[in-house]
Structure 1
């Protein structure tokens, strides 16, 4: 089938997303407003009957001093990735973006390629001979993702190198807790003993988790800065968070929530939760260095998980993990914390680049790597 790709309104894009069980929040028109340093455009795929059958949010990033841009669809577009004719879907997209002045295109699909259960990950961590999760036989393999991968390579798309390329990229590996068909008792039983004990300990200690609003973001940000200094990452500026709340809430009043965990009046942990349809994400987290023993971080995670369940979500996404299961790697603690929830590591088909002007593509890679 021949598809036509053209600009659509934000309203049409929102309506299309609402017709799907779940779409990445990075593929909502509101996300274009959050990423104000990028240009943005909503695109639609139309079949031969004029029906809207696919959609995508494109972010445009210009090279300094030039009119040409990187065209980036984070965790998108939302098309039929199981199709045996991805050329029919992606060809019209590339043609449109060429006309828009793109020197390269990056797409990012959340089609699940492989998964590893919590038990498999724990066994890998305990094995001193294993250092990378990708070397461990997965529990599930998606044949449709393998077919899509083969098609992308034939069409000239290529995955960016691990830990290299544009710093705009999204993680290929994430940790998720499946919620479909479960209740709170099932979820608790799936957690490891440490998580269950810490959730119980937080309750006994009197940790109270509530939802906050935009007016509470300064409190969140204070603890976020403390977390950034302790964990050695570069924090976002404060203005990013009110802008994110304003944009996402305007599209759906329950799209984004702020959770606050207090102990005897002290803020001990705070998190940001985002939901689109049946998928909820743990987007940002912060914890105070003081009072770690009251386990506010576990309490706030448990509240977000149970609220996602109550909202009808089928997936709770704790976002990115690295490939390491090496006991000597400082990143191991991240996957150990998340694996305690009893979920699974998920590897997406991930991001793929199509250079349209190879010289400018290389220059942009260098530019973005220097900016960090």
Structure 2
């Protein structure tokens, strides 16, 4: 007799895709991070160190994806068990990602998607939920591919724009690309007697104190992942994947700082913090100008993702001016969901719907914005 999931085949699913299918290879935690450290598409969200700290109750499956005997990309798949064990959902944020963005990137992305569909949607009968990176062009080719492949549009962030600075410019070109007000404020900061330095992970305590003072000053409940993830990330022995800590001082006192993920093609602003007296000194302008210069000279990143704004107009003005003429403001796409059978799809959609309703309820109950406005992740 057929099983329930066999008899309730999901009507929108393909029966046998004609697209090429990659080969999945499950690897150890140590092998995973050593391998993906030099991939173009790597992000902090796809690191086991980050995911284990951020989502301690979720199963993690790090898989390399090969085509024709060559590793073309990878995906850290998080396995979320639904209540009562009725089903599981395979989730990847910013994944799968490519080893190289050059050449036929979307073709290789499609090969990786087929491998994930075959393993998780068909073989293991799960809903597969993927969230591609924000694209650096007018359209998101990865998200469009998922829709054409039969994935369904899921939830989307309320404030979904990401502000991304272009890094492959000369210092002169970079400065000219900033908005006029941003350039003017930077000029004032450069006359304020500030100093910039790259600090080692052993000085995280100084940033932590700065961050705590900022949270206390604003009186916000800190709902970010800072306390869960940053100690683990900064303790990583791999210098390529370990975030960088940058500090700005005035009169011998640290007044501003930022933690930056720098691996891959796209550096990411994770967290920042300032003292009150840093604001009239325009320390934030000074800090980011020097971070941009450091990334240009010391990383292979071509873009610097500043994160979003959570709807705060002041953050929009600051980040928009830094993005300037050469950068991009692009949306995070919606989640894309796929199931090869009706039952996993129904259970997965119900779970996501319940979570979205709960998040909206919590948001209405809060009277103030989170300290995570300083975060890009």
Q: TM-score, normalised by structure 2?
A: 0.74
Offset of 1:33 from its aligned partner? 4.0
**Matched residue, 2:314:** 333
Offset of 1:46 from its aligned partner? 2.7
2:91–2:130 contact (8 Å) kept in structure 1:
yes
Offset of 1:73 from its aligned partner? 1.2
Offset of 1:34 from its aligned partner? 3.8
2:190 partner SS: helix
Is 1:56 matched up with 2:50? no
1:262 to 249, 257, 260: 249
Is there any run of 5+ residues in structure 2 with no aligned partner, and where? 1-19, 99-103, 363-377
Offset of 1:10 from its aligned partner? 4.3
Distance 1:277 1:363 in 2: 33
1:70–1:103 contact (8 Å) kept in structure 2:
yes
Distance 1:218 1:15 in 2: 27
1:306 partner SS: helix
Is 1:173 matched up with 2:161? yes
Is 1:207 matched up with 2:194? yes
1:85-124 alignment to 2 at 5 Å?
86=110, 88-98=111-121, 103-110=126-133, 112=135, 114=137
The farther-off stretch of 285-294 and 192-201 is 192-201
1:279–1:317 contact (8 Å) kept in structure 2:
yes
2:256–2:278 contact (8 Å) kept in structure 1:
no
Distance 1:150 1:256 in 2: 31
Distance 1:254 1:162 in 2: 28
**Matched residue, 1:303:** 290
1:270-285 alignment to 2 at 5 Å?
270-285=257-272
Is 1:25 matched up with 2:48? no
Is 1:73 matched up with 2:88? no
Distance 1:222 1:210 in 2: 17
> Is the strand fraction higher in 1 or 2?
1
Distance 1:269 1:112 in 2: 30
**Matched residue, 2:354:** 366
1:240 to 204, 218, 229: 229
Offset of 1:151 from its aligned partner? 4.1
Judged with a 3 Å threshold, the aligned counterparts in structure 2 of structure 1 residues 331 and 61 are, in CA distance, closer, same or farther, namely: same
2:241–2:263 contact (8 Å) kept in structure 1:
no
Offset of 1:19 from its aligned partner? 5.5
Judged with a 3 Å threshold, the aligned counterparts in structure 2 of structure 1 residues 370 and 149 are, in CA distance, closer, same or farther, namely: closer
What does the per-residue CA deviation read over 1:238-279, in whole Å, with 9 as the maximum and x for residues that have no partner?
Answer: 353211212xx3233563111122222333211101111343
**Matched residue, 1:82:** 106
Distance 1:3 1:254 in 2: 26
1:234 partner SS: coil
1:6 to 15, 25, 36: 25
1:226–1:289 contact (8 Å) kept in structure 2:
no
2:227 partner SS: coil
2:66 to 27, 32, 46: 46
Distance 2:241 2:28 in 1: 22
**Matched residue, 2:304:** 316
Distance 1:215 1:33 in 2: 22
1:353 to 337, 341, 356: 337
Is there any run of 5+ residues in structure 1 with no aligned partner, and where? 115-140, 165-170, 323-329
Distance 1:263 1:54 in 2: 44
Judged with a 3 Å threshold, the aligned counterparts in structure 2 of structure 1 residues 200 and 157 are, in CA distance, closer, same or farther, namely: same
